[in-house]
Structure 1
Amino acid sequence: MGSLFEELEAREAAARTRVEVLKAELAEVSGRLSAAWEGLDRLRIARETVAEVLAEMTPQKPGVAVDAGRPTAGEPVASAYAGAERQDAPGPVRAKQIVPRIGLPAETGKIEGTRSKLKRLVDRGWLDEDTPGMFAPARRRGGASPNSR
């Protein structure tokens, strides 16, 4: 009888080890999922913010809606993607011009943080920075969308 109990204890220990391994894998996957959700939210917020800023910088065109994810009924909005060549702003803009338009105080820290985010949008193909510090909507290159990779 002693060997039967030893066998059951060994199987229980193996099952406990497997449970601990699976818990660790679950924690890792949960962390990666959380990071992916955060990245998705940051991209959505960046898209909405750029669309709002660009819409405020240009005269509004009637009947064009912004794809910012939350326009309200009856609210006049303009698209960040309006125009055949995506020419929404009269020209490139600086981070310090954008900061007050998105409701942040015009402090050095806020301007630098916004500039950093704009540079990431340049890296991702959403904006162009032909002149250092001057940001404009990305021009389409080769017919590819800035979202395609």
Structure 2
Amino acid sequence: MVTVGSLLEELARREAVARQRIAEIREQITALESRLEDEHDRLSRLAITRETVEEILGEAVELVGEPVTAGIAGRDVDAVGAVPVRPPVLGVVTVPPWQPGITAAMLPRAYRDAVEIMVDAGRAMRAGQIAVAMGLADEAAKREGLRSKLKRLVERGWAREEGPGLFMVTEPVAREVSGQGDGGSRDGIAPSSTSSLGG
């Protein structure tokens, strides 16, 4: 016969089993959430890497298509025409180190736009602000891709980092860019862009 005591014991046993199953399921959920976060991080890194590679390849194609009208590495251009441009290979420096006589026009387009926007702003800017001024989508991958370009400009002497994540062109570069043209737009970047950046 089933007594009240044995019934209560059975109920208590089943309750303990249910609690144990809940604890195990919670552990599994925690593990899955951790895995999900790791996969999100991996996806973000892959997206940034892919966009960076696409930008590098795009700059390489742009360099091939741009005519050369000045000497390269100390060689003079003859009167017949420009020195032929060889297709760049991976590992080629597309951002030359800044030195007197080198102009922003020698930079790949994305770098040139970033330099001109910083000159127009006249102050240190964050990668996100520059990305918006360039018309890029306000996405983490875009900001990270641009931040790597700004770091490269700092490494090559075109810009400096005023503080963590704050970039500004160097004074010689600002003077060179500001002295170009007659006050009109530069490569489609209007001087009035400072107003949209909040001064």
TM value normalised by structure 1: 0.51
SS of the counterpart of 2:89? coil
The answer to whether the 8 Å contact 2:60/2:88 transfers is yes
Deviation at 1:118, TM superposition (A): 2.1
The answer to whether the 8 Å contact 1:52/1:80 transfers is no
Instruction: Provide the C-alpha distance between the structure 2 equivalents of 1:90 and 1:58, rounded to a whole number of angstroms.
Output: 14
Q: What is the percentage of aligned positions where both structures have the same residue?
A: 9
Q: Give the 5 Å matches for 1:65-76.
A: none
Task: Tell me the C-alpha RMSD between the 2 structures.
Answer: 3.9
Q: Give the 5 Å matches for 1:1-149.
A: 1=6, 2-59=8-65, 81=89, 86-87=91-92, 89=94, 91=96, 97-99=108-110, 107-108=117-118, 109-110=130-131, 116-118=147-149, 131-133=156-158
Residues 51 and 17 (structure 1), Cα distance of their counterparts in 2 relative to 1, 3 Å cut: same
Relative contact order, higher structure (CA 8 A, sep 6+)? 2
Moved over 6 A (4+): none
Residues 38 and 90 (structure 1), Cα distance of their counterparts in 2 relative to 1, 3 Å cut: closer
Larger Rg: 2
Residues 87 and 117 (structure 1), Cα distance of their counterparts in 2 relative to 1, 3 Å cut: closer
TM value normalised by structure 2: 0.40
Structure 1 alignment gaps of length 5 or more: 61-77, 123-127, 135-149
Instruction: Provide the C-alpha distance between the structure 1 equivalents of 2:23 and 2:108, rounded to a whole number of angstroms.
Output: 58
Q: How many residues align?
A: 105
Structure 2 alignment gaps of length 5 or more: 1-5, 67-85, 99-103, 119-129, 135-142, 160-199
